[in-house]
Amino acid sequence: MIFPKFFGKFARYIEKILMENIAINNTTTLPVQFTQGAVKEIIRLNKEDNAATGKWLRVGVKGGGCSGMTYILNFDEKNSSDIAFETDGFSFIMDPSHEMYLYNMEIHFEGGLNSRGFTFNNPNASKTCGCGTSFAV
């Protein structure tokens, strides 16, 4: 089993889905999807931010926030354990242990006056906070 035992039935279920997808497609499917708004903003940020030069877009999670886990979306160095994905003209990386929390998540960017920024639609989240940046599984 790829994931540690303490993740239990949920991890075994996600691992089964992932392994079936790899066996059927003979490739790794994208764990997260980006809307066209998110793609445009990521490409814009990557071009405008000199600090992002030579770095990858990291998608992941970390402990914290009012619901227990917080999303990570930033430009970072690639670690040897990271998995790289390519979609819509840009590449992103993810720690393989984060995939079970983010599988089938959609990342969107809203550019309006009332709501501006990246939003996360995560079907694995059992609850989210009011601001939408933290969640629980």
Cross-strand pairs, 58: 74, 93
Cβ atoms of 44 and 37 within 8 Å: the answer is no
pLDDT value of position 22:
46
pLDDT band at 26 (very low <50, low <70, confident <90, very high): very low
pTM across the whole model: 0.71
* pLDDT tens per residue, range 86-133: 988 888 999 999 998 899 999 999 887 777 789 888 888 776 766 666
Closest CA to 107 of 80, 88, 129, 130: 88
CATH class belonging to 31-136: mainly beta
Angle value at C-alpha 134, between 36 and 48, nearest 5 degrees: 40
pLDDT value of position 14:
67
How far apart are the C-alpha atoms of 12 and 3, rounded to whole Å?
Answer: 8
pLDDT at 32 over 80: yes
Residue-range domain boundaries for the chain: 31-136
Please tell me what DSSP assigns to residue 29. Answer: P
Cβ within 8 Å of residue 116, ≥6 positions away:
110
- Which of 11-20, 27-36, 76-85, 103-112 is least confident? 11-20
CA-to-CA separations, 78 to 23, 99, 120, in angstroms, rounded: 26, 16, 22
Cross-strand pairs, 63: 69
